[in-house]
Homo-oligomer: A and B are copies of this chain.
Amino acid sequence: MTKEATSLEIKHRKKALQALAELGRKIVEDIRNAQPPKLKIPSRSTSNIIYDRKNRYFVLGPRYGIRSAGSMKQIKKVAQLLCTADFARELIESGKFATLREMYYTAEGWEVGPFHDQGESDAIIEDLEATFGLKRESLGLTPEEDGAAVFGQIVFREGDVTIDATKAGRGGYTIPPTIDDVEFVKCRAKRIIAVETMGMYHRLIQEEAWKKFDALIVGLKGQAARATRRFLKRANEELGLPVYLNCDGDPFGYHIGMVIISGSANLAYINHELAVPDAKYIGVTASDIINYKLPTDKLRELDIVRLKQLLKDPRYNTEFWQYEIKKMLEIGRKAEQQAFAKYGLAYVVNDYLPAKLKEVEGKEFLGKG
């Protein structure tokens, strides 16, 4: 789409190409030394996933696996990994992107033979990500889905196109899988309010919460896509914007927030690019259910099991979370963000959010409309 690579794109491509070249050099060196090429790949097994208390997210431990072209059992995997690395090089050099699914089908044309299923090709890509400490997006490989919607006073540049996120339509600016290549040109917002549902996203836009709170409104569409998490991290680090997460008051809402804050275990190898440990949960809590007399639903069996898991999860090992999880188990009820509509459509913007923002920023917002 974009003819000329931006400086940001060039920087990313260079880093990825260096990592790929390093891999190639290592292979060539082994061959020159008359050794079967060997690859040292960080282990992604559960026992090597560690919660890093200092950084406050999951990381990989020190364990590695060796994959050797000298082993009959491993040689196909080594060859597939090198073909995948070569495909990534082609993508990066041509400035193109392929989905994981396209990658899987591309392998149908390889001499080394196709993958049995996409699970196999995805695992090889994760091997490369873990080895390089680079996201697959940096290797030209993107997930299928776009990221969240963003509305508010920020201007993006993608290639030679400049996009004002207040002028991209009611639907907002869509975070592309290639968010790392997007430049933040200008931002007048002072914070980010990310909401779980698109219903709440449209409510906040309609009630002009983005103006009232000087905020970028981000519509997560449920569990946040990688691109969304990367956007939040970049906005937090590069623009210094605090990130607030407004989710449903149930274990799944809690966890949608937490995955943004502390990353997920199965992405431990790349959480350093995705986690936003300083993001704050301002979503519906068990206390809110009581204090606001919200319409609720009974916890299902699954909710109860999930809440009990969260109680033991190191990411929830804070006074706030332990209290709110236990309280929800005690009252046996959950509530959605949109339940505030009981008090009128504007209540969430005029009353609820100002109260929550005051809690986290200690500052009065002129919410009352």
Interface residues of A (CB under 8 A from B): 1, 96-99, 101-103, 105-106, 108-109, 114, 142, 144-147, 149, 156, 158, 161-163, 166-178, 182, 197-199, 202-203, 205-206, 208, 295, 336, 338-345
Contacts and interface: CB of A to CB of B under 8 A. Distances in A.
A99 B202 contact: yes
A166 B163 CA distance: 10
A174 B174 contact: yes
A213 to B, nearest CB: 15
Contacts of A295: 105, 108, 114
Given A101-B338, A338-B102, A146 B149 contact: yes
A203 B102 CA distance: 10
Given A156-B169, A161-B169, A171-B175, 7 more contacts: A99-B199, A101-B341, A105-B339, A146-B171, A146-B198, A158-B170, A170-B176
Contact of A168 (B96, B168, B342): B168
A178 B163 CA distance: 22
Contact of A341 (B97, B105, B144, B149): B105
Contacts of A198: 144-146
A332 to B, nearest CB: 18
A206 B96 contact: yes
A321 to B, nearest CB: 26
20 contacts: A96-B345, A97-B206, A98-B341, A101-B336, A101-B338, A102-B199, A102-B203, A105-B336, A105-B339, A105-B341, A105-B342, A106-B342, A109-B342, A109-B343, A109-B344, A146-B171, A161-B167, A168-B169, A171-B173, A171-B174
Contacts of A163: 167-169
A343 B144 CA distance: 19
Most buried by B among A99, A105, A162: A105
Contacts of A342: 105-106, 108-109
Contacts of A344: 106, 109
B176 A174 contact: no
A173 B206 CA distance: 18
Contacts of A168: 163, 168-169, 173-174
Nearest to A156: B169
A183 to B, nearest CB: 12
Smallest CB-CB A-B distances: 4 pairs: A171-B174, A99-B199, A105-B341, A102-B341
Interface centre among A161, A202, A203, A295 (most CB of B within 10 A): A202
Given A169-B158, A169-B174, A345-B106, A99 B338 contact: yes
